[in-house]
Amino acid sequence: MNIVVCVKQVMDPDTPISAFIVDEAEKKVIPAQGIPPVVNGYCENAVEAALQIRDQQGEGTITILSLGTDFVMDVMKKPLSMGADKMILIQDESASNLDASGIVNVLSAAINKISDVDLVLCGQQASDWDNAHIPMGLAENLELPCITSALNIEHTEDKLIVQSALPDGYQTFEAPLRSLITVNNLFGEPRYPTLKGIMQASRKSPEIWSIDDLGISKSDLEPSIILSELKIPVSEGNCEIIEGEDDADSGRLLALKLREEKII
């Protein structure tokens, strides 16, 4: 079974707010100095799902696919050190200006270029923009059935049985082997790379593609969304301390204040 896992390099979600800088004129986030990027957490869950499916089958090929600029190889090779077989990086400066529709068109063309893809796995969403647009668009472009928020995937001889997370439980779906599935963080903790895996990953060189290698027209890269403004939200609040002669009096004054503000 040939599995493609779409992976994204993102800013570390634990970056302190003091190091988070937005260039409002250019409408982009400035990478924090001294804090390396990471593989998106949900994407690591998707890699773990692929590895578990391969473990169930006893064979298969897992290809990591990513689109972006300024890849940090020590970061991007983590899925390889976890056990993935190979990696394709679409590294192109124009990728920094693509919106969700452009990214979908590029990744779709790349997946079509990879021969004999049986299953496409994606993280549920990315921790930077948090939109979850890409998997849905890929499924549409590739004409694949799509199941979201998977917390368990069972591979049988002729179908997939997928448990999809709900706020109060889960629902179970059957899907053909050729599908697109997004993976939830409830799937389980991604396995930690072993020393052997790290050494094997260090000897593997990612295959580098450009957008031009995919034969995509310029119209496929035109934005569908116009970003009008990007800035860090400002939270403002006022705190009023209510003090009485004793606790009971403070409670009475608080109740009067809440009633005055029509909160109670």
Domain ranges of the chain: 2-221, 234-264
Q: What percent of the chain has pLDDT over 90?
A: 67
Range 165-173 contact pairs with CB under 8 angstroms and sequence separation of 24 or more: 173/147
- Beta strand spans in 47-197 (E): 61-68, 86-91, 119-123, 146-155, 160-166, 169-175, 179-183
Spatial contact of 148 and 124, defined as CB atoms under 8 Å apart: yes
In tens, the pLDDT along 226-252 reads 888 888 887 777 888 888 899 999 999
pLDDT at 111: 97
pLDDT at 115: 83
* Distance separating alpha carbons of residues 86 and 222, to the nearest angstrom: 30
Please name the residue that has the structure tokens 């090929």: 61
pTM across the whole model: 0.85
* Distance separating alpha carbons of residues 260 and 254, to the nearest angstrom: 10
Average pLDDT over residues 105-120: 95
pLDDT at 238: 80
Spatial contact of 101 and 223, defined as CB atoms under 8 Å apart: yes
2-221 in CATH: which number?
3.40.50.620
CA atoms within 13 A on the CB side of 226: 1
In tens, the pLDDT along 171-208 reads 999 999 999 999 999 998 999 999 999 999 999 999 99
Model confidence at 157, pLDDT cuts 50, 70, 90, reads: confident
Model confidence at 89, pLDDT cuts 50, 70, 90, reads: very high
pLDDT above 90 for 123: yes
Average pLDDT over residues 164-171: 94
Model confidence at 209, pLDDT cuts 50, 70, 90, reads: very high
Model confidence at 82, pLDDT cuts 50, 70, 90, reads: very high
pLDDT at 156: 87
Q: Which residues of 138-157 are buried (b: 16+ CB within 10 A; e: fewer)?
A: bbebbebebbbbbbbbebee
* Distance separating alpha carbons of residues 8 and 10, to the nearest angstrom: 6
Least confident of 13-27, 154-168, 189-203: 13-27
* Distance separating alpha carbons of residues 11 and 29, to the nearest angstrom: 9
* Distance separating alpha carbons of residues 13 and 32, to the nearest angstrom: 11
- Beta strand spans in 135-193 (E): 146-155, 160-166, 169-175, 179-183
